[in-house]
Structure 1
C-alpha cells in the first residue's frame, strides 16, 4: 500500500507540473486516503504515527497549493502580504509540529522503548 501511495502522489504532482488539472485533482483522493489509512494502521507505534501524520499533512498542504494554482488564486492577497498560497503553511506546520512532538517530547521521554507492530 505504501508503494502504491507513492505512485498516486507522483501522478498528482505530474498533473500539477503539466498543469493537467483533471489528473492532479483526481489523484488527490487516493493519495490522501491511502496516507490516512497508513497513519491509522500505524497508530500503535508513536514514531510511525507521527511521521505518517506529517506525510498526510504534507499531502494536504501540497494538494491545497496545487488547487490554489489551478484556480489562479495562489497570488491573490488574503490579508496584507498573506496570499492564498501561504495558507498551505498551516498544514505544513501541523506536520512539522507532529515531528517536533515526536523528536523533542516523546522520544526523549522513552529512550529505551522499542516499538514493534
Structure 2
C-alpha cells in the first residue's frame, strides 16, 4: 500500500508540474485516502503514527497549494503579504507539530520503547 501511495503522489505532482489539472486534482483523493489509511494502520506505534500523520498533513498542504494555483487564487492577498497560497502553512505546520511532539515530548519520555513495524 505504501508503494502504491507513492505512485499516486507522483502522478499528483506530475499533474501539478505539467498543469494537467484533471490528473492533479483526481490524484488528491487516492493519495490522501491511502496516507490516512497508513496512519490509521500504524496508530499503535507512536513513531510511525506521528510520521504518517505528518505525511498526511504534507499531502493536504501540497494539494491545497496545487488547487490554489490551478484555480488562480494563490496570489490573492488576504492581509499584507499573506496570500491564499500561504494558508497551506496550516497543514504544513500541523505536520511539523506532530514531529515536534514525537521528538521533543513523546520519545524522551519513552526511551525504552522499541518501535518497529
User: Aligned-pair distance for 1:33?
Assistant: 0.1
Identify the residue that residue 34 of structure 1 maps to in structure 2: 34
The secondary structure found in structure 2 opposite 1:51 is helix
Structure 2 unaligned residues grouped into runs of 5+: none
Identify the residue that residue 51 of structure 1 maps to in structure 2: 51
User: Aligned-pair distance for 1:116?
Assistant: 4.4
What is the root-mean-square deviation of aligned Cα atoms in Å? 0.7
User: Aligned-pair distance for 1:81?
Assistant: 1.2
Give me the whole-angstrom Cα distance separating, in 2, the residues matched to 1:103 and 1:116: 16
What TM-score, normalized to structure 2?
Answer: 0.98
Count of aligned positions: 117
Give me the whole-angstrom Cα distance separating, in 2, the residues matched to 1:43 and 1:30: 20
Cα deviation digits, residues 13-38 of structure 1 (max 9, x gap): 00000000000000000000000000
Give me the whole-angstrom Cα distance separating, in 2, the residues matched to 1:7 and 1:77: 34
Identify the residue that residue 114 of structure 1 maps to in structure 2: 114
User: Aligned-pair distance for 1:78?
Assistant: 1.1
What TM-score, normalized to structure 1?
Answer: 0.98
Identify the residue that residue 83 of structure 1 maps to in structure 2: 83
User: Aligned-pair distance for 1:54?
Assistant: 0.0
Structure 1 unaligned residues grouped into runs of 5+: none
Give me the whole-angstrom Cα distance separating, in 2, the residues matched to 1:8 and 1:90: 23
Pairwise mapping of residues 63-74 of structure 1 onto structure 2 (< 5 A)? Answer: 63-74=63-74
